[in-house]
Amino acid sequence: MARAEGVAIRAHWWAAIPERMLGKAGSLARQKTVFLLSVFVPIMSLFLVIRIIPILLILLASFTNYSLKRPVTRFVGLANFMRLFDDPRFVTGFWNSVEFVAVAVPLEIVGGLAIALVLSRKVQFEGFYQTLYFLPYILPTVPTAIIWRWIYAPGNFGVANYLLDSVGLSHVGWLTDPKIALLAIIVMHVWKQLGFFVVIFLVGIKAIPAEFREASAVDGASAWQSIRRVDLPLLRPIILFGLVWSTIFAWSVFTEVYVMTQGSDVSAGSDLHVLSTRIYQEAFIFFNAGYGSAISFVLFLFSLMFVLLQFKAFGSE
Amino acid sequence: MDDTFGQPSPLSRREFLRRSVAVAGGAAAFAATPSPAKEVELSVWANFNEIHRYITDLAPKYTQLHPTVKINCTLFAQRALDEKVAVALPAGQGPDIIDFASTQVQPYLQYMQFAPPETVEFVKKNMPEAAFKECSTVKGELHTVPFYVVTSALFYNTEHLAEAGIKEPPKSLDELAEYARKLTKRDARGTITRAGLDLRVAGGGWGLTEKFWVLAMEPNGVHILDAASDKWKAGYDNEGGRKALQFYIDGLHKHKYCAIDMKHDAEAFGLGVASMFCRESWVVDYLGKNAPTTKYGVALQPRGAKDWCTLAASRGFAVPKVSKNQEEAWQFIQWLVNDENCATFFKNYGWQPWRTNVDYSAAYKERPALKVFQDGLKTRGYRLYPYPPTAAAIEVYARMADRLAAAFKRPDLVDNASGIAQVMSGMAKETNQILADNNLLAK
C-alpha cells in the first residue's frame, strides 16, 4: 500500500515538471518556453558535443601518456605540464605565439579601422577598393602561403629580395633568418585577414546615424575630433568583437606557419614554430597525444585569458 | 465424362516421387553450375605521387588480365598517411595494400599480415639480400614486399667542374670539400651566387637528419642509433659524430661553399646555383622535366674515412590483417613488381626498383644517369645500410633535424670543439630520452 502510494507520488512529481518548467498548458508562457527550448536545445547540444566535451577530453588526455602508438594509456599526473617548462621547442613556440598576437592583433585592428574610416567617407571607385581589400581574405590559405614563399624566396629568386636589390640594398633572409622570419609570416597573415576587419568596421561605422557626425560638425569638430569623439566611442562593441576574433585568429594560426616551414629550400624550420604547429607535431607526427593535449590546454587557457582581459577592458561601459 | 473435370488430377505416389527426384536433380544441377566470380575491389593507400600514378596507370591493365579485380588507389601526403594508418589500423580499419617505407611500418608490425610462401620465394629469388633481410622482415617473416629503394648519389654539374679544371667527380669527402671550395662563386658583396656543394640545411621533417647522416656520419663510421640486442642507443655522441657536424659548420661558415640563405636542393642544382649535391634517383626525372639543358653526371657517394656506403631506404607494399582480400592483394603486389612493370617504373617514374635482375636498358637509353643508381646495388665494397628498424626512428630523426637546423645557423661553432661537443651530447641525450620513452633504450 505504502509502495503504491510512493509510486503515485513519484508519478505526480514527474507530471508536475513540465508545468513547473514550461508553465500551464496552453499558456503564453508555456508557448514561449517551448519555442525557446526548441531553438536553443539543438544549438546548445551541438555546442556541448563539438566544443565543451572535446575541451574536457583534451584536459583529461593532458594528464595521461596517451599515444596512438601505445595500446595502454595511464595517468601521469602533472608530468606533461612539468615537461613544458623543460621543452625548448615549447618555449620557442609559446614566445612566437605571443609575438604573433602582440604584433598581428594591433596591426589588424588599427589597420582595419583606419582603412574603414577612410572608405566610410565618400570615395571614388569604392567597389574597386572593396574588391581589393577583401580579395586576400577569400583566397584559400595554402596557395596564398605558397605564393608568399615565392615572394620571400632567397637570393635573387624572390620578389622581395629583387626589389631590395634594385634599390641597392642587401638581401634579407626572409624565411631563414629567425629574427625576420616570424615577422615576415605575420605580414602575410595581416595582409590576408585585414579585409575581414575592414568589412566589420565599415558595417559598424555605417550603422552610426549620420546626425551624430553632422551635430559634431555643427559644433565645430574637425574630422579627427569627429572620429575620436563620435565614431570610436560608438564603435566600441565592434572593436571588441574585432579584437576577440583577431586574438583568436592569431593564437590559433597554423596554415601560414605550417606551409612556410615545409620544404628543403627556404624554410626556417623549428625557429618558426607556434603553439598550434607544436601541437600538430607532437600529436600527429610523433603521436604523443597526451603531451600534445597539454600544449593544447595551455593554448586554450592563454587564448581565454586574453579574450577575458579584452572583455574586461572594453566591456565595462 | 470424368467427374474431376476442371480440377487437377491427384498424383499417384510414384508420379509424385518421380517429379520430386526431377526437381531435386534440377536444383542440384543448378547449384553445381559455377556462379559468376566474386568481384573484388582492392583498395591501396599510396604515399607518393609517383606510386599513386604508377598504380593508377597500371590498374586498367590488371583489370583486363583479372576482370573480377578492380583497383582503387588513394594518395595521401607523406605525413597524412602516417596519421591515417595510426588511427585506422588499431581501430580495425584499413585498405588492402599500403605503400610503406621500412621505417613507417615498424610501429604497425602487429597489424600486418606476413606474406605467403610463394611471395616470399619470389622476393628471395628476385631481390638483393639486403632488400629481403634488412628492410622487409621481422624474425624471418616478410611483412613488406620490397619494391623500390631510395639510395643517394652525388650529382655534379659537368660544365661547372670543367670550368674549374676538375676532370673527375670527387671520390672522397676530403675531395668533395676541396672541389666545393673551387666551384663556389660569389658576387662583389661576397654573397654566394653559386654553391660548390649544396648542403641540406633546412626543412620541416627528418629529411635533414637523413642527408646529414648519409653524407657525413655513416662514411665516418658513425650510426645514428647503435643496436644492442633488441634495443638501441644514440650512436653519434663521439669523435665521428662531432666531425660530421664540423664538416657542415666548416662548409657553411668557414670555407663558405654553401649558405643557409640561398636556393637549395634539386631546384638549386637545376637553376645552376649549386654545382654538386647528393640526392636520390627521382632527381634524374626532375631535371629531365624542369632543367633539360643542365649538363650533369652522377657518381656513387664519396668515401669517408671509414666506409664507402649509402642508405638503402626501402619502400614496398604491405597487406594489413584487416584486409578481406588478402589473396588478391598479394597477387596484385607480385604483379606490380614483375620484370616489365619494374622496367616501366624506373623509366617513367624515376624511382629505383630493388630488383637487379631486370633489363633496364630502355630506361638507361633515355636517362643514362639512372644506371649509376642501379650499379650502386651491385658494386662490390659499396655498403647499403637501412634505417634502423625501430618504431622510434622517425621521432629521433625529426627531433635531431630541429637541433641540427639550429646548429647549422651558428657561426660561433667554427673551430669551437666544445660548442660542437655540447650540441652533439645534447642531441644524443634527447635521442636516448625518446628511446627510453618508447621502452627501447639499451642499458
Position A285 pLDDT exceeds 80: yes
Query: SS3 of B200, please?
Result: coil
More confident of the two residues B160 and A16: B160
Distance (Å, whole) CA B379 – CA B374: 9
Task: Say what the ipTM of the complex is.
Answer: 0.76
Cβ within 8 Å of A, B 148-187: none
pLDDT in tens, B318-349: 999 999 999 999 999 999 999 999 999 998 88
What pLDDT score was predicted for residue A16? Answer: 62
Distances, alpha carbon B85 to alpha carbons A153, A284, B81, B90, in Å? 34, 11, 6, 8
Highest-scoring range by mean pLDDT, B106-110, B122-126, B180-184, B206-210? B180-184
Q: Could you tell me the pLDDT band of residue A214, with boundaries at 50, 70 and 90?
A: confident
Distance (Å, whole) CA A20 – CA A39: 20
What pLDDT score was predicted for residue B131? Answer: 83
Backbone angles phi, psi at B257, to 5 degrees: -95, 0
Query: SS3 of B316, please?
Result: strand
Amino acid at A280: Y
What pLDDT score was predicted for residue B402? Answer: 87
Tell me, yes or no, if B60 comes closer than 8 A to chain A by beta carbon: no
Mean pLDDT over each residue of chain B, to the nearest integer = 90
Nearest to B202 among A157, A176, A284 (CB): A176
What pLDDT score was predicted for residue B4? Answer: 43
Position B22 pLDDT exceeds 90: no
Tell me, yes or no, if A6 comes closer than 8 A to chain B by beta carbon: no
Position A78 pLDDT exceeds 70: yes
| Measured torsion, CA atoms of residues A86, A88, A92, A93, in degrees rounded to the nearest 10 | -70
Nearest to A157 among B205, B263, B391 (CB): B263
The mean pLDDT of B415-429, rounded to a whole number, is 97
More confident of the two residues A121 and B231: B231
pLDDT in tens, B150-198: 999 999 999 999 999 999 999 999 999 999 999 999 988 888 999 999 9
pLDDT in tens, B279-313: 999 999 899 999 999 999 999 999 999 999 999 98
A contacts of B90 (beta carbons < 8 Å):
68, 71
Helical spans, DSSP H, in B300-360 = 326-336, 339-349
Position A24 pLDDT exceeds 80: no
Amino acid at B297: G
> Which cell goes with B272?
645552376
Q: Could you tell me the pLDDT band of residue A82, with boundaries at 50, 70 and 90?
A: very high
pLDDT in tens, B236-293: 999 999 999 999 999 999 999 999 988 899 999 999 999 999 999 999 989 999 999 9
Q: Taking CA atoms, what residue in B is nearest to A272?
A: B204
Contact (CB, 8 A) for A188 and A124: no
Please count the other Cβ atoms lying within 10 Å of the Cβ belonging to residue B88: 18
What pLDDT score was predicted for residue A12? Answer: 60
Q: Could you tell me the pLDDT band of residue A200, with boundaries at 50, 70 and 90?
A: very high
What pLDDT score was predicted for residue B11? Answer: 61
> Which cell goes with A312?
574586461
Evaluated on CA atoms B282, B284, B287, B290, the torsion sign reads: negative
Distance (Å, whole) CA B66 – CA B116: 20
Percent of chain B with pLDDT over 70: 92
What pLDDT score was predicted for residue B141? Answer: 87
* Alpha carbon of residue A59 to chain centroid: 20
A contacts of B397 (beta carbons < 8 Å):
none
Say if the Cβ atoms of B203 and A269 lie within 8 Å.
yes
Distance (Å, whole) CA A231 – CA A228: 6
What pLDDT score was predicted for residue B5? Answer: 44
Distances, alpha carbon B420 to alpha carbons A266, B126, B197, B230, B424, in Å? 24, 45, 22, 30, 6
For the ranges A14-28, A75-89, B74-88, B244-258, the lowest mean pLDDT is seen at: A14-28
Site from B78, B81, B185, B261 to mutate, A interface, most A CB atoms within 10 angstroms: B261
Bridge partners of residue B231, in order along the sequence: B228
Mean pLDDT over each residue of chain A, to the nearest integer = 87
Residue among B360, B321, B354 nearest B336 (CA): B354
Cβ within 8 Å of B, A 61-80: 68-69, 71
Position A2 pLDDT exceeds 60: no
Say if the Cβ atoms of A264 and B191 lie within 8 Å.
no
Site from A64, A264, A279 to mutate, B interface, most B CB atoms within 10 angstroms: A264
Q: Could you tell me the pLDDT band of residue B6, with boundaries at 50, 70 and 90?
A: very low
What pLDDT score was predicted for residue B343? Answer: 94
Long-range CB pairs of B222-226, under 8 A, 24+ apart, other chains included: B223/B388, B224/B388, B224/B396, B224/B397, B224/B400, B224/B431, B225/B388, B225/B390, B225/B393, B225/B396, B225/B431, B225/B435, B226/B442
| Measured torsion, CA atoms of residues A43, A45, A46, A49, in degrees rounded to the nearest 10 | 160
pLDDT in tens, B390-412: 888 888 998 999 899 989 999 99
Position A211 pLDDT exceeds 60: yes
pLDDT in tens, B349-378: 888 999 989 999 999 998 899 999 998 988
> Which cell goes with A281?
607535431
Distance (Å, whole) CA B329 – CA B317: 10
Distance (Å, whole) CA A308 – CA A160: 39
Q: Could you tell me the pLDDT band of residue B2, with boundaries at 50, 70 and 90?
A: very low
Sheet order of strands, B153-157 included: B276-279, B153-157, B296-300
Q: Could you tell me the pLDDT band of residue B225, with boundaries at 50, 70 and 90?
A: very high
The model's pTM: 0.81
Question: For residue B358, what is the DSSP state?
Answer: S
Q: Could you tell me the pLDDT band of residue A7, with boundaries at 50, 70 and 90?
A: low
Highest-scoring range by mean pLDDT, A34-38, B311-315, B427-431? B427-431
Distance (Å, whole) CA A139 – CA A124: 25
* Alpha carbon of residue A114 to chain centroid: 21
What pLDDT score was predicted for residue A264? Answer: 67
Say if the Cβ atoms of A269 and B204 lie within 8 Å.
yes
The mean pLDDT of A168-195, rounded to a whole number, is 90
Position B14 pLDDT exceeds 80: no
pLDDT in tens, B89-104: 988 999 999 998 888 8
What pLDDT score was predicted for residue B3? Answer: 42
Q: Could you tell me the pLDDT band of residue B36, with boundaries at 50, 70 and 90?
A: low
Distance (Å, whole) CA A73 – CA A291: 12
Give the containing element (helix H, strand E) for B228: strand B225-228
As to burial, measured by CB atoms within 10 angstroms (0-12 exposed, 13-18 middle, 19+ buried), residue B266 is buried
Give the containing element (helix H, strand E) for A62: none
What pLDDT score was predicted for residue A9? Answer: 55
Helices A126-138 & A178-206 angle (0-180, nearest 10): 130
Distance (Å, whole) CA A115 – CA A136: 15
Residue among B47, B45, B39 nearest B63 (CA): B39
